[in-house]
A = this chain, B = another copy of it.
Amino acid sequence: MLSLVGKMRIILIGLGVVGQAFLELLELEKTDLYGKYGLHPVVVAAADSSSMVYNPRGLDVPSLLRHKRSRGTLRGYPDEVLDIDLVRDVDAEVVVEVTPSNFKTGEPGISHIRAALQTGKHVITANKGPLAIEMPALVEMFQHKGLRLLFSGTVGGGTPFLRFVGKCLSGERIVSIRGVVNGTTNYILNRMEEGKSFQEALREAQEKGYAEADPSNDVDGWDSAAKLVILSNWAMDLGVTLKDVSVRGIRGVEITEDMLSRGKTVRLIASADESGLRVQPEEIDKRDPLVVPGALNAVSFTAEISGRHTLIGKGAGGRETAAALIRDLVELKLYLGGAEPCS
């Protein structure tokens, strides 16, 4: 029998842009992850929206990716399995959950995460839906069971907003958060500032791949609100969910010549302070650090002693989010201890 002691067995749920980028990066960094952290990840199971594959010795990642990319589905892959509850029934240390964010029900992500919890598996996720809907309960349940729930890919992707608060401002009380956390709407508002109409700017954003065919999660503020929930719970321990946020998107917003001549513009600002949580378009000084070009993200954390800190960087792309998932994998490994793998 093959010993799997020391290996980190992964169940990957979701094989869209992020899931595929995760597999690719994992393959690419394999040697490095082992050399630097003694981390030996083995993907034992994966699911997309149409099928599931499973191999207790580890799936052949390059071949799996080729199959998925040429056929658009896992169906027909040699390791395909039917009638199995992947998250519950497969032995693994961690479930990587990257199905699409659903801000109404949090499903199917919530069910996957709860199933992992019930069967003693750690979870790494880039799915904002479950956290937006029930982050305080999920965090508490994972803590109670001594399991980790890691989600640095949910906010900012490549830009470590969550890590910044946790590691760089530790010991300080965060009194407020203000941020531009949705790249698509920021791109649209920047183009509107340059004279485009909302519709023109939206079409451009779609052509560039920033906005989805159905742009409402971005444009109506839900994506920003979900990220605000995650940031506020993490940085300020507010214990909130999506229904605690007052949300207004950027439809109907105008950026006037008069406004611009007064040195002002409009940004979709997500904010949390003593008075509550809000996502809304706000008139803002063009010189404010939150006024960033293109599809960038920017978040200001105001700390009690050291004042306002603003971090600016790329938002979430597939590759950036995948990099965040890998960072979480390393963090999990460090948490589980540095025992050298035996194979």
Q: Which residues of A contact B (CB under 8 A)?
A: 36, 158-160, 163-164, 167-169, 171, 287, 289, 291-293, 296, 298, 305-314, 319-320, 323, 327, 330
Contacts and interface: CB of A to CB of B under 8 A. Distances in A.
A171 B289 contact: no
A170 to B, nearest CB: 9
Contact of A309 (B169, B287, B312): B312
Given A160-B168, A308-B314, A311-B312, 14 more contacts: A158-B305, A158-B306, A160-B169, A160-B309, A164-B168, A168-B168, A287-B293, A289-B292, A305-B319, A305-B320, A306-B314, A306-B320, A306-B323, A310-B312
Contacts of A311: 164, 309-312
A309 B287 CA distance: 18
Q: At the interface, is chain A mostly helix, strand, loop or mixed?
A: mixed
A308 B159 CA distance: 9
A307 B171 contact: no
A93 B122 CA distance: 41
Contacts of A169: 160
A82 B206 CA distance: 75
A293 B171 CA distance: 27
Contacts of A323: 305-306
A85 to B, nearest CB: 34
Contacts of A289: 289, 292, 296, 298, 312
Contacts of A313: 306-310
A314 B310 CA distance: 10
Contacts of A309: 159-160, 311-313
A232 B305 CA distance: 27
Contacts of A314: 306-308
Nearest to A300: B312
A320 B289 CA distance: 20
